[in-house]
Amino acid sequence: MRFLITGLNHRTAPVEIRERLAFGDQMLPDALDRLKRRPGVLEGMILSTCNRVEVMTTADDRSDVEGSLESFLAECRDVERTWVSPYLYQFDGRDAIRHLFRVAASLDSMVVGEPQILGQLKSAYALAKERGAVASFLDLMLTRAFNVAKRVRTETEIGQSAVSVSYAAVELAREIFGSLSGKRVMVIGAGKMSESALRHLRRAGVSHILVTNRTRPRAEALAAEVNGSVVDYAGFPRALPDVDIVITSSGAPDYVLTREILRPVLSARRRRPMFLIDIAVPRNVDPQVNELEGVFLYDIDDLEKVVHANVENRLQVAENAERIITEEVDRMMVRLKAREVVPTIVGLQEQFELVRQAELDRVRNKLGPLSPDQEQAIEALTRGIVNKIAHGPISELRRHAADPEGHRLAGMLRKLFRLGE
How confident is the model over 153-204, as pLDDT tens digits?
Answer: 999 888 765 466 777 777 778 878 888 888 999 999 988 778 888 888 888 8
pLDDT digits (tens, 9 = 90+) for 278-311: 988 889 999 999 999 989 999 888 877 766 666 6
Question: 195-234: string of b/e by CB count within 10 Å (b at 16+)?
Answer: bbbbbbbbebebeebbbbbeebebbeebbeebebebbebe
Strands 208-212 vs 229-230: parallel, antiparallel or unpaired: parallel
User: Dihedral of the CA atoms 95, 96, 98, 100 (nearest 10)?
Assistant: 160
Pick the catalytic residue from 15, 41, 42, 50: 50
Q: Do domains 2-162 and 165-307 have the same CATH topology?
A: no
Distance CA 377, CA 383 (A): 10
Of residues 127 and 305, more confidence is placed in 127
What's the confidence (pLDDT) of residue 162? 47
CA distances from 128 to 20, 44, 56, 124, 135 (A): 22, 7, 10, 6, 10
Residue 112 CB coordination number (10 Å): 22
Instruction: Provide the β-strand partners of residue 8.
Output: 53
For residue 350, pLDDT over 90 is answered with no
pLDDT digits (tens, 9 = 90+) for 211-243: 999 999 999 998 998 889 999 999 999 999 999
Does pTM top 0.75 for this prediction? no
Sheet holding 41-48, edge to edge: 41-48, 52-59, 2-9, 89-92
- Residue spans per domain, the chain: 2-162, 165-307, 339-391+405-416
> Does residue 50 carry a catalytic annotation?
yes
Instruction: Provide the β-strand partners of residue 211.
Output: 187, 230
Q: Percentages helix, strand, coil for the chain, rounded to the nearest 5?
A: 60, 15, 25
Distance CA 185, CA 197 (A): 11
Distance CA 204, CA 207 (A): 9
One CATH from 1.20.150.20, 3.40.50.2020, 1.10.1060.10, 3.30.460.30 for 2-162? 3.30.460.30
Distance CA 162, CA 201 (A): 17
Q: Considering only CA atoms, give the Rg of the chain.
A: 29
326 and 95 Cβ atoms separated by less than 8 Å: no
Mean pLDDT estimate for the chain: 87
Of residues 134 and 389, more confidence is placed in 134
Bond before 282 cis per omega within 30 degrees: yes
Of residues 47 and 379, more confidence is placed in 47
Span 321-336, mean pLDDT?
91
Distance CA 415, CA 409 (A): 10
For residue 74, pLDDT over 70 is answered with yes
pLDDT digits (tens, 9 = 90+) for 379-416: 899 888 888 888 888 777 777 766 666 667 777 777 77
45 and 124 Cβ atoms separated by less than 8 Å: yes
We find that the CATH architecture of domain 165-307 is: 3-Layer(aba) Sandwich (3.40)
Look at 66-70, 95-99, 353-357, 415-419 and tell me which has the smallest mean pLDDT. Answer: 415-419
